[in-house]
Amino acid sequence: MCGICGFYDPDKKLPEKAALLQKMNAAQKHRGPDDEGVYLDGPVGLGHVRLSILDLSSAGHQPMHYGDRYTVVFNGEIYNYIELREELAKAGYIFRTNCDTEVLLAAYDHWGEACQTRFNGFWAFAVYDKQTGDLFLSRDRYGVKPLYYTELPGYLLFASEIKTLLTDRRVKRIANDAAIFDYLVNGFVDCTEETFFDGVYRLEAGCCMRLNPEGEKQIRRYYELPYRESLVEPVGCTMIREFRRLFEQSIALRLRADVPVGSCLSGGLDSSAIVCESNRQLRAMGGGDGQQTFSSCYAGDPNDERKFMDAVIGKTGVNAHFTYPTGDTLYEDLEHLIYTQDEPFVSTSMYAGYCVMRLAHENGAKVLLDGQGADEILCGYRKARVYYIKRLLGAKRFGRASRELIAYLPYMRKGKNVSLLADLNMIRQFLGKTSSTDIRHRYLEDSFAKRTLRDSYRENDRFLLNDFDRIVLPALLRYVDRNSMAFSIEDRLPFLDFRLVEYAMNLPLNAKIADGYSKAIMRKALDMPEIIRKRRDKIGFYTPEKAWMDAHLDEYRAVFENPDFRAGRYINSAKILNDWDSLTRGMDDIGLFRYICLEKWMHVFDVQSA
């Protein structure tokens, strides 16, 4: 895992090229503290900072050259590099290192752009072809690893993080109104190629870009997730065995490392299954005794998941570590958390992940396994169950629809923020039904509130796929990448092995939701403590946000009282201050933290409104 950056300057417009590369590397040094390098040739500059995971020797130094033709900077892991190296060796390729970067270069030389479909892993890389003068950039199928770019007169900059691009003072720090509106009204982030910075873009998941000396830029999609949605099909032993086989293979690949591999542990199904399976495999290989887990807990909070974590720890015997974030630590860390994330985020749940990664770093971890992706491929969210019931009713399967509704109703009504009303409101939004009197518009500036709400769901009949590739997962992947890399940790995601994703996304809905249980096939197929297997509640990325904010209400109020209130184009701070007591006393219907986060983001990055 690393950080990459660079530029393409066919018009020779970029001054002080070497100095800029050094600044860009320095801005993302946290992504790769073990080594760094730069490369300049003709129109291209490449920078790299390295976190050593495979082949810890200097042979893995980047930028890496291949023959007299190719040079690469690469962030990520190609987990099947051993199998690919064997295949390429039979084709006559000779390897001088034990790292996946060299395999990537040989694969690019042998298969060209088609190499992307042969990789099992996550990546963002840039390959310069000295023979043609082209620069080729690629991002993995599901966008686990980030890649941002911006175009300035005569040249293009790219990097793993937006803050790296901002080291070029010619990049303007102007807010993107469309992204801010989506954020404040919908709670959506990372839904499109646009970012919160006007003119800064993300290369979307499953896409690649080619730049040539004539100044032409071509972006194309090399991967589309195969998706077929059916309601009800027989779920037998064969289906369950295949799911288990793919999961076990995914874990096996993600245990490949020349450093120890630990895990995040939340107490939910996803992380519990990962810890149990990785522990089984490590013990089969003669290890496992030193396996570490890292968790976030909230002492005295009724939603604390410690009892579920303890069940996994007792079953596996892992060496467990815990962190206990509070409202005080959140307030102290908030500006650094915002700097870490590059863009605003929707809730304080991001802080739990930040604290877990800091804890792991303090205990010497460099690689962790994590559970992102399971909810999206296996209908883990409450809204997916509402969607399933709606589909059953539409298909006139009234008996099954009634059973699912009766089985889940007690859990839909559990807790302030997981009410039946919240579920139904989510479905209304999915169907494109909004109200002009929506409370989410109440505290926006009048002219800004009149903007048209763009439909981030592309097609309503692709509800689950939209969550996967637009609405939910991209944001989670940004959060986990920034949090982990802020503390020089590689976070690996077994549920996003492309073979497992493609299999799970094409399972019938009744394999995922059955008798009030989400992730039904996972519960049958994977090993975990029974207390977790039988859970029906969905806590999600929970943090005691209200209690944390209550600890520093005066300081958060001061955000809106600041004479230099940057977000005044978007937020009516006077209305918020007038209603402050009611907003902070009861249910937070507008997502008050978003308003605070946006304003602080504009200060942290010195962003101006358009």
List per-block mean pLDDT (blocks of 10 residues) for the chain, which spans 610 residues.
93 88 97 95 96 81 94 97 97 93 97 98 98 97 98 96 97 96 92 96 98 94 94 93 98 94 95 97 86 93 90 96 97 98 96 97 96 96 87 91 83 48 52 53 91 61 84 96 97 98 97 94 97 80 87 96 96 95 80 95 96
Give the CATH superfamily of 2-221.
Aminohydrolase, N-terminal nucleophile (Ntn) domain (3.60.20.10)
Give the model's pLDDT for residue 432. 46
Catalytic residue among 2, 5, 191, 207: 2
The dihedral region occupied by 516, where left means phi > 0, alpha psi between -120 and 50, and beta the remainder, is left
pLDDT value of position 417: 43
Backbone angles phi, psi at 161, to 5 degrees: -135, 150
As beta bridge partners, residue 126 has 73, 137
What is the separation, in whole angstroms, between the first and last Cα of the chain?
A: 35
90 burial class (0-12, 13-18, 19+ CB within 10 angstroms)? exposed
pTM above 0.85, yes or no: yes
pLDDT for the residue numbered 423: 53
Does 2 participate in catalysis according to the annotation?
yes
- Alpha helices by DSSP H, listed for 169-305, are 177-181, 237-254, 269-284
Q: For 6, list phi and psi in degrees, rounded to 5.
A: 165, -170
Comma-separated ranges of CATH 3.40.50.620 domains in the chain? 237-378+472-533
CA distance 225 to 533: 29
Helices (H), 67-144: 81-90, 100-111
Burial of 524 (0-12, 13-18, 19+ CB in 10 A): middle
Domain with CATH 3.60.20.10 in the chain: 2-221
Integer Cα distance of 240 and 233 in angstroms? 13
Distance from C-alpha of 253 to C-alpha of 79, rounded to nearest angstrom = 6
Q: Which of 604, 607, 532, 535 is nearest to 569 (CA)?
A: 607
Q: Which residues pair with 45 in a beta bridge?
A: 7, 40
Q: Please give the class, per CATH, of domain 237-378+472-533.
A: alpha beta
Structure token digits, residue 205: 């998941």
Residue 393 neighbours by CB distance under 10 Å: 14
- CA trace torsion 57, 60, 65, 67 (10° rounding): 60
108 strand-pairing partners: none
What pLDDT score was predicted for residue 418?
Answer: 44
